[in-house]
Amino acid sequence: MIKVTTPPAANPHPRLRPGRYGIAIAVAGVVAVALVASSFLNYVYLDTIPGRASLYGLLAVALIALGTYILVRAFSRDRAMRRKHLIRAGVLIGLGVLLWLLLIDVFVFTQSAGPGVAAICVLVCLPTTGFGLLVVRRMDRNEKEPWRLVLVAAAWGAIVATSLVIWGETIWEATAQRSLVPGPGLDASTAFMAGVLEELAKGSAVVLLFLVMRDEFDDVVDGIVYGAAVGLGFNFMESVTYMTNLYAIFQPEGIGGYAAGFQWYARQVLGLFFGHATYTAFIGAGIGIARQLPSVRQKGFAIASGFIVAIAAHFSWDAWLTFFPIQNSVFGLVEIHMRTLIMTGPFTAAIIALLIFGVRFEGQNLLDQLRKEASDGFGAILPDEVAVLASPWQRLKQRLRALNQGGPREYLATARLQSAQLDLAMERWHRERKEIDTPLGAEVQLRLRVIAMRPRSAP
């Protein structure tokens, strides 16, 4: 067993492969077992169309899980191997998505509303969810997360998390419906179910990203971004399910389009950020804070806290929605918005407060590291560049200047240089705080990478 690395790591581990990979494998194993068990139980006991989709969808879920794993790991390999792994990942994910969409279309959505309506529902939800992901990614002003990971997070929320909860929610609902007094007590039970099961399912994706992609999971801001992305993916699939289902229920009465349209507005416009995105962002925030805490005990408390807030926020919406009845009048339109603002608004405000604090904290520390790197005189960051790199607006202005001078190629080269310089500052920050288990050589490599970029795009 290798005890030390050369050059030495800031926070040395007894083995080269960190212990978190073991935890990641265990979490992935639990997720896989839960998915398989869920699918078989759905098929055997539910004997419904979703049960069949769940069983036949296992292969699609496995292909997507394997494909996304290969995809995110591909970028930590050298250039020669990266291309090979990207092709493999692309093929697996493509097959998985096609298979999944086929199953969903054939067995669930088209069964209830028909293929045309199912396709329209998907198409109208795509732009709003895409807009949500764009906004969420841009929230990290200092160091944006790679699109590949943001999309992986959303895909997990949409496909894996929704598949995980089918069995648990069906059993819970069936048991509660047969044993509890209908009314607020049953509503509270169902709300506990949704809060606990759905947040655990979504949270598992954020936990896995935290364990496997530590290099791209820096702090509370990154956690909020990944958590919200998982929530947006989950919200996408849930929106399509509700829209097609309610269309099928109300269409014989001639108001199917209205019912589906209302669901779209409630979930994809009004509830785009005031819903699953907010809930799961709390899980990400807890994990992001844990990332920078020194003791295991504090890490545990931070992660548990994120899950508790997410479950509580989700629970409060589901349980107490009926206490805010909506009038069947024009004023009802105002009430719908007020209800969302009053019930989910405080939680969304709380996560925004954490985000603003996190962005400021990250920005201050990156500035500190940029100054230190510039004063060390290695040449990766020059003293004149510090003010530009510390400000998103200044960075944009610099890229636009490059665009004017050298066209899109120069713009992209400048963007890559800025990104590499910020990566270096982030690496320094984590090393200073002893939050990193890669050897010092990684930092040296980052510095050399920045220096190598300079001749092509020096500002």
Binding positions for other proteins, rule: CB under 8 A: 112, 177-178, 180-189, 191-192, 220, 248-250, 252-253, 282, 285-286, 289, 292-293, 298, 301-302, 304-306, 308-309, 311-313, 315-316, 319, 322, 350, 353-354, 357-358, 360-361, 363-365, 367-368, 371, 390
Q: Which residues contact 420 (CB under 8 A, 6 or more apart)?
A: 446, 449, 450, 453
Backbone angles phi, psi at 439, to 5 degrees: -70, 165
CB of 187 to other proteins, least distance (A): 7
CB of 144 to other proteins, least distance (A): 18
Backbone angles phi, psi at 9, to 5 degrees: -80, 155
- Return d(Cα 61, Cα 20) in angstroms, integer: 23
Which residue number, 173 or 215, has a Cβ lying nearer to other proteins? 173
Which residue number, 93 or 230, has a Cβ lying nearer to other proteins? 230
CB of 172 to other proteins, least distance (A): 14
| Spatial contact of 307 and 285, defined as CB atoms under 8 Å apart | no
The SS3 call for residue 238 is helix
- Report CA-CA distances (Å) from 186 to 173, 181, 339: 9, 6, 21
Q: What DSSP designation does 5 have? A: -
CB of 152 to other proteins, least distance (A): 25
Instruction: Classify burial at 246, counting beta carbons within 10 Å of its beta carbon; exposed 0-12, middle 13-18, buried 19 or more.
Output: buried
Which residue number, 241 or 457, has a Cβ lying nearer to other proteins? 241
- Return d(Cα 293, Cα 212) in angstroms, integer: 18
Which residue number, 28 or 180, has a Cβ lying nearer to other proteins? 180
Which residue number, 69 or 301, has a Cβ lying nearer to other proteins? 301
- Return d(Cα 194, Cα 315) in angstroms, integer: 7
CB of 37 to other proteins, least distance (A): 24
Which residue number, 154 or 386, has a Cβ lying nearer to other proteins? 386
404-412: Cβ within 8 A, 24+ apart: 410/457
| Spatial contact of 267 and 242, defined as CB atoms under 8 Å apart | yes
CB of 426 to other proteins, least distance (A): 14
CB of 367 to other proteins, least distance (A): 5
Which residue number, 298 or 404, has a Cβ lying nearer to other proteins? 298
